[in-house]
Amino acid sequence: MDAFSLLKADHRKVEQLFAQLESANGKQKLQVFEQIRTELELHTHIEEKIFYPALEEPEETHDLTLEAYEEHDVVKKLLKELGRAKTANDEWEAQAKVLQENVEHHVEEEENELFPKAESALGEEEIEALGEQMEAEKARKQRGSASKRSSGKSAKKSASKAATRSTAAKRTRTSKKSSKKTSSKSSGSKRSGKSAAKKR
């Protein structure tokens, strides 16, 4: 897949998610937002790591590329702020709308201005090569985040197992102590009974 097709596919996916966000309610809004955040973080990563560096050199794409970096920074800040929220209140919704407008403006500028200029500056072969590189990087990042999630889950499981083991061990120690105490008490009462018998 060439660079433009890959990036446009990402753009369409994010557009669909924003449409879902508008119709979602309550906690569902936060869940849809998490999907948007994942998609945008991945998209900005491959653009900044592979696509934009190739466009910084040519004169016709230089200024637009620098502007695109700045627009990414704004989006990242908004994602960070929105990601802190526990509920989707009115303020959060207003901020989410600002995010959507920023993303839409960025997409429009990229597809209508940057891509046509990049096409003439780079040539077909390089556009194809960049697409392949971005696809590979995207897959690598997705594998990494998936393994992080699974290792996080397994870490939680092992932590809960360890906690269960330590609780069980504590219970065993406590029951051993209490059984020792009762046995020492009973042997003590036996001795006191014998001494009382001797006195008689």
Tens of pLDDT, residues 47-71: 999 999 999 999 999 999 999 999 9
Rounded Cα gap, residues 118 and 54, in angstroms? 9
Distances (CA, A) of 89 to 16, 17, 77, 82, 94: 22, 19, 19, 11, 9
Residue 200: pLDDT band (50, 70, 90) is very low
Length in residues, the chain: 200
**Which pLDDT score is estimated for 173?**
55
Rounded Cα gap, residues 78 and 72, in angstroms? 10
* 3-156 to CATH, choices 1.20.120.520, 1.10.10.10, 1.10.10.60, 3.40.1110.10: 1.20.120.520
- Which secondary-structure segment (H or E) carries 135? helix 124-199
Q: Which residue has the tokens 């849809």?
A: 32
Residue 194: pLDDT band (50, 70, 90) is very low
3-state secondary structure of 176: helix
| pLDDT (average), residues 153-174 | 54
Q: How many CB atoms lie within 10 A of CB 104?
A: 14
Q: How many CB atoms lie within 10 A of CB 45?
A: 15
More reliable by pLDDT, 180 or 120? 120
More reliable by pLDDT, 5 or 185? 5
pTM of full prediction above 0.85: no
> Does the pLDDT value for residue 33 go beyond 50?
yes
Mean pLDDT estimate for the chain: 84
Identify whether the C-beta of residue 127 lies closer than 8 Å to the C-beta of residue 3: yes
The model's pLDDT over 106-141, given as tens digits with 9 standing for 90+, comes to 999 999 999 999 999 998 999 999 999 999 999 998
**Which pLDDT score is estimated for 198?**
47
Q: What's the distance, CA 23 to chain centroid?
A: 23
